[in-house]
Structure 1
Amino acid sequence: MSLLPDQYDKYIRFFKFMMKYWNSDVFSYTEEKMANTETEIETESFDHSPEELADDLKSMGPTYVKLGQLLSTRPDLLPSPFLDALATLQDEVEIVDYQEIETIFKEELGVRISKAFASFEKEPLASASIGQVHRAVLHSGKIVAVKVQRPGIRKRFIEDLDTLMAISEKLETYSEMGRNYAIHSVIEELRYVLLKELDYTLEAQNLATLKKNLAEFEHMFIPAPILDYCSSKVLTMEFVEGGKITKVSPLKRLDISFEPLVDELVKSYLKQIIVDGFAHADPHPGNVYLTPENKIALMDLGMVAKFSNEMQEIILKLMIGLSNYDGSRVADILLSISEYDDKKDVSNFKKDVIRKTQENENARAKDLQTGRVLIKMNQMAAKEGIHIPVELNILGKILLNLDQIVAYLAPKYDVQQTVKDYVQLLMQQRMKENLKPENLMEVFLEMKELTENLPYRLNKFSELLADNKMKIQVDAIDEQRFTGAFQKVANRITAGLIIAALIIGAAMLVRVPSSWTIAGYPGFAFILFIIAAIIGLYLLYEILLKDESKKEK
């Protein structure tokens, strides 16, 4: 991609940022320099503070704010204090004028705001990097929240993303660090997430899906989308009364037991992750409200996490291992889904995981942080050169936010016991699901295919065995390499014998008088000595230098 003149300012801003941080110990915080994960990292030891990095990204615009939020899920790239600072990164943006909001609404839905709603508050409730939220009332009397996308934001995001894609591609081509940390893949993931978040139609679908999935939890509230007033740039949904869940007054926490709510919150997320494979991926306190009816409301479904059936099984096993404080089992599960060199010694990683898992035993909500434990384990893995799937990073961030809410509302709540009991229940339900007729039919079809093919295969096997045509191929050694090495040894022995013969022959010829001499020696004998010396020196070079360099490779 060429550097267009109107994109110069974007490249200049990015390179100024990189000039500041490229040689900083923040981004040179590689596995070799990673501190002992048993102790907290001191932010004073870095030449830039976490808050400074967050402010620099914020000053570069909304795309870089989103990049910072994405980097907060990469403990293999940044130290934990910086991950925490980036996880709460929010940009400060100006309020969009009401006239522009009205114009966008009419362009998207073909109707004026005054016709669509009985009333519409011109002052926004909130203004974020992508959209602005207003309170409105439908003609039916229902109170709704209307989120309208900021004008020109889609174009700006795409331009910034194109710039980042071009730069990251060059970084991976010319920089070893860029290749090691897959910078281009990080930007590709950011592009995928942002383009999804820019489409409010998808967010409306996500709200409807999550509301249906969590219908069994009476204390959970998901605002339903008003589909008649939704488009790619406008999202209308039920209004959520109340406030941030971590802003509940101390008196209210003394007056009301929040344990039933916390219990449902934890179970609802376990169901989202393990059963549905579709989860609200950003449950930070700003997106989780407590309603006047004492229900927990989940908002902002622009970012969701999706887990495959295979990953759901892995997470189920992982949660069982964590709830039983079985560190050895947890380590084995993590290694089974990770990428690493088969020759790598993973004993240190196993030891660290076992210690970290056992530390959680007998801990209550105020001390227990399952999400932080998972993130710490990811850091341990990164230190050892083990690459854990990104889904577990997302899981760690989800649980980290839940830990904060649980610890605030019910400090004595036993999270691990709830996880253990509910996971067992989910396991039983999963087993029942597998016994459904449609699942059994698949098993029967597999058995039918095996039964049909088994007689033929047995007959073929016995026929080959009777005719002495059965062959077993064992790939134990590299036959070609072994033969080549053996041939090399034989050639060198032969060369040694030739050298010895040349030297002995030359020594015998020295005693024979000759009219042709070189330096006073018989000429033919002298030539034989020279040939023997050349062959001997070449053989010595092959043995001492070439063989040693191949051994190092």
Structure 2
Amino acid sequence: MNDSASQGTGRLGLMARSAQLLRFASRYRHLAGAAGERGSREDADEFVADIQRLGPAFIKIGQALSVRPDLLPLNHLKALQKLQDDVTPVPVADVRAVIERELGVRLSKIFPEFDDAPLAAASLAQVHAAVLRDGREVVVKVQRPGIADSMESDMTVLRGFAGAADRFTDQGRRIGFGDWIEEMAETLAEELDYRLEAANMRALAGQLADYPALFVPAPIADFSTRQVLTMDRVRGSKISQHPGLQRLEHPLADLARDLVRAYLDQIFVHRLVHADPHPGNLILCGERLALIDAGMVLRLAPRMRDNLLALMQATVEGDSGRAAQLIERMGERLPVFDERAWQRRCDRLVLRYCNQSLNDEVGAGELLLALARQSVESGLRPPPEMPALGRTLLALEGSAKRLDPRLRPNLLVREKLDGLIGRRVSEEFSPTRLRAQLIELAGLGTRLPQQLRDALELVAQNRLRVRISGLGEARLLENLQKIANRISAGLISAGLVVAAALTLRIDAGPRLLGYPALALILFLTAFGLGAALVVSALRSDRRK
């Protein structure tokens, strides 16, 4: 009985949540086809307020949406970037219960001192200060109780909505809501596993070995699990709150330059990027700078890394044609893609950046975000890594400017790119890489004679077949079905007209308005079908 009652309660809760999300989706369904537009500020503010009311899971979803110009209008993106992650703290008794359950021991056995007042409370977790038995000061990040189940429930509902939108709406087929929801679900699942965050912290710390002034607090593996993360406590002040930031010129200028260079290494060398370098995640500790909160990271595949490096080099050199081709290669053409409009927009943005970047009027982050928005307006869906990286660089430039207002990040980007490209060329011609290519070439040389003989035999026996992919795609089949429906309706209308004309010669039977009733009915039916066919064709052609 208890299990049945709890399942019934769970189903009722899921139905209530589905109804709530359905009302939200219905209210803002007009946004699905408005990507690339500006949108109204009032609607954007209401949109963000409603997302906050939907709870912690949707706060995270809103933050992810803030870097997707292919999904929302410009003002909505800007409003989402200001989305606050501060929420009501969890009662400390619940926090203690989570820690003891996860670590399997009483809290006092591990932490003789544990501050019940949280240092911070966010949508997914809250952080408490503590002291280990050896006197080491730490902070303990504890996942909010029930947040994983809540997010999984919300994602289940959203998957259903997204699947329906992809099947039954043009916007869904164009955007692919289902793919985005799955991508979002994977990202959130990683962010809810603090073991992965601990691994990210260790990897980022290794990447900063060449920059002694930068560091990442060390996680403590023995006291970290999926829902609890214990790490060294960083004593200092966030650069957004430091009182004397403008007066400490020399050390902060060095820190600012190291910070920019380290991030460029993360992007174009290591391919693992701390994705949220806003001032609240950078803590000044004397003459060193700590990067905290490694839950949000950006991972770049080797090909994506190389394309982004080539894109940045093209923008620095003002080669707008090359930049347009690279983004087109990385992205996805939509049916409404306008290549000439895209090239004009890319020319304007890249040349503006190339001509003005020495004065830092346009930063690399702003440029990537602008290129992503303009590609959407031209009918080209950019890769999700591009706007995400643009947002990261934009936050990085803002934080570096706080450390040193005289810093010129674009000059550092230009200097760093030359070294990075030289390094990539050296890697391509390294002995290890050449040996791998020689092995592939040897394998090709071994297989080529046999493959060539097989192909010639097929030609000689007249058994060579060419298979063309793409003809079975759903969009093509749908259009063919529409054509078949129109032809069938036209034939039926024509047949009814012929039948009506023949029945006019029959004098027997009931009459209507002086004509045989059957003939008149056939004429009216044929007219209705024909009119409906014409109206449907005109509407469909006008939309296309």
TM range (shorter): 0.7 to 0.9
Q: Which residue of 2 aligns with 1:527?
A: none
Q: Provide the C-alpha distance between the structure 2 equivalents of 1:263 and 1:209, rounded to a whole number of angstroms.
A: 21
Q: Which residue of 2 aligns with 1:309?
A: 302
Q: What's the C-alpha RMSD, in Å, of the aligned pairs?
A: 3.3
From the CA coordinates, give the structure whose radius of gyration is larger: 1
Identify unmatched segments of 5+ residues in structure 2.
Answer: 1-7, 468-533
Tell me which of 6, 14, 19 is aligned to 2:13: 6
Look up the SS of the partner of 1:215 in the other structure.
helix
Measure how far apart 1:350 and its partner are.
Answer: 1.4
| Mapping for residues 383-398 of structure 1, pairs under 5 Å | 383-398=377-392
Q: Which residue of 2 aligns with 1:331?
A: 324
Query: Is structure 2 residue 52 aligned with structure 1 residue 58?
Result: yes
Map Cα deviations across residues 88-126 of structure 1 (whole Å, 9 max, x no partner).
312442222222222211111112221112422111101
Contact 1:104 1:148 in 2 (8 A): yes
Greater Cα shift, 318-327 or 274-283 = 318-327
Q: Provide the C-alpha distance between the structure 2 equivalents of 1:318 and 1:366, rounded to a whole number of angstroms.
A: 18
Q: Provide the C-alpha distance between the structure 2 equivalents of 1:286 and 1:70, rounded to a whole number of angstroms.
A: 18
Q: Which amino acid aligns with 1:340?
A: R
| Mapping for residues 269-308 of structure 1, pairs under 5 Å | 269-291=263-285, 293-308=286-301
Look up the SS of the partner of 2:362 in the other structure.
coil
Q: Which residue of 2 aligns with 1:483?
A: none
Query: Is structure 2 residue 172 aligned with structure 1 residue 167?
Result: no
Map Cα deviations across residues 419-456 of structure 1 (whole Å, 9 max, x no partner).
12212212222333334443222122133335556788
Query: Is structure 2 residue 388 aligned with structure 1 residue 381?
Result: no
Map Cα deviations across residues 448-501 of structure 1 (whole Å, 9 max, x no partner).
33555678889999x99xx999999999xxxxxxxxxxxxxxxxxxxxxxxxxx
Q: Which residue of 2 aligns with 1:108?
A: 102
Q: Provide the C-alpha distance between the structure 1 equivalents of 2:248 and 2:206, rounded to a whole number of angstroms.
A: 33
Query: Is structure 2 residue 16 aligned with structure 1 residue 16?
Result: no
Q: Which residue of 1 aligns with 2:179?
A: 185
Identify unmatched segments of 5+ residues in structure 1.
Answer: 35-40, 476-544
TM-score calculated relative to the size of structure 1: 0.76
**C-alpha spacing 1:141/1:47, structure 2 compared with 1 (3 Å):** closer
Contact 1:368 1:403 in 2 (8 A): no
Tell me which of 340, 348, 358 is aligned to 1:355: 348
Tell me which of 25, 29, 32 is aligned to 2:34: 29
Q: Which residue of 2 aligns with 1:145?
A: 139
Contact 1:330 1:353 in 2 (8 A): yes
Q: Provide the C-alpha distance between the structure 1 equivalents of 2:253 and 2:424, rounded to a whole number of angstroms.
A: 27
Q: Which amino acid aligns with 1:380?
A: Q
Q: Which residue of 1 aligns with 2:528?
A: none
Query: Is structure 2 residue 395 aligned with structure 1 residue 401?
Result: yes
Map Cα deviations across residues 284-304 of structure 1 (whole Å, 9 max, x no partner).
22222222x232221111121
Contact 2:365 2:390 in 1 (8 A): yes
Map Cα deviations across residues 397-431 of structure 1 (whole Å, 9 max, x no partner).
11121122123333332222211221221222233
**C-alpha spacing 1:348/1:97, structure 2 compared with 1 (3 Å):** same
Q: Which residue of 2 aligns with 1:200?
A: 194
Contact 2:360 2:408 in 1 (8 A): no
Q: Provide the C-alpha distance between the structure 1 equivalents of 2:280 and 2:359, rounded to a whole number of angstroms.
A: 20
Greater Cα shift, 178-187 or 270-279 = 178-187
Look up the SS of the partner of 1:132 in the other structure.
strand
Map Cα deviations across residues 277-319 of structure 1 (whole Å, 9 max, x no partner).
111122222222222x232221111121111111111011112
Q: Which amino acid aligns with 1:308?
A: A
Q: Which amino acid aligns with 1:242?
A: G
Aligned pair count reads 464
Q: Which amino acid aligns with 1:29?
A: A
**C-alpha spacing 1:344/1:236, structure 2 compared with 1 (3 Å):** closer
Q: Which amino acid aligns with 2:328?
A: L
**C-alpha spacing 1:449/1:12, structure 2 compared with 1 (3 Å):** closer
Q: Which residue of 1 aligns with 2:63?
A: 69
Contact 1:282 1:303 in 2 (8 A): yes
Q: Provide the C-alpha distance between the structure 2 equivalents of 1:86 and 1:391, rounded to a whole number of angstroms.
A: 18
Greater Cα shift, 106-115 or 79-88 = 79-88
Q: Provide the C-alpha distance between the structure 1 equivalents of 2:360 and 2:240, rounded to a whole number of angstroms.
A: 14
Q: Which residue of 1 aligns with 2:412?
A: 418
**C-alpha spacing 1:182/1:458, structure 2 compared with 1 (3 Å):** closer
Measure how far apart 1:270 and its partner are.
Answer: 1.2
Look up the SS of the partner of 1:433 in the other structure.
helix
Q: Which residue of 2 aligns with 1:542?
A: none
Query: Is structure 2 residue 77 aligned with structure 1 residue 83?
Result: yes
Contact 1:364 1:411 in 2 (8 A): no
Measure how far apart 1:186 and its partner are.
Answer: 2.2
Q: Which residue of 2 aligns with 1:501?
A: none
Measure how far apart 1:15 and its partner are.
Answer: 2.5
Q: Which amino acid aligns with 1:346?
A: E
Contact 2:360 2:410 in 1 (8 A): no
Map Cα deviations across residues 99-156 of structure 1 (whole Å, 9 max, x no partner).
2222211111112221112422111101111111011122232211110111111111
**C-alpha spacing 1:452/1:96, structure 2 compared with 1 (3 Å):** closer
Measure how far apart 1:197 and its partner are.
Answer: 0.9
Look up the SS of the partner of 2:413 in the other structure.
helix
Look up the SS of the partner of 2:381 in the other structure.
coil
Q: Which amino acid aligns with 1:295?
A: R
Q: Which residue of 2 aligns with 1:515?
A: none
Measure how far apart 1:356 and its partner are.
Answer: 1.0
Q: Provide the C-alpha distance between the structure 1 equivalents of 2:444 and 2:308, rounded to a whole number of angstroms.
A: 32
Greater Cα shift, 306-315 or 341-350 = 341-350
Look up the SS of the partner of 1:355 in the other structure.
helix
**C-alpha spacing 1:458/1:299, structure 2 compared with 1 (3 Å):** same
Look up the SS of the partner of 1:186 in the other structure.
helix
Q: Provide the C-alpha distance between the structure 1 equivalents of 2:449 and 2:162, rounded to a whole number of angstroms.
A: 57
Q: Provide the C-alpha distance between the structure 2 equivalents of 1:341 and 1:103, rounded to a whole number of angstroms.
A: 51
Look up the SS of the partner of 1:232 in the other structure.
coil
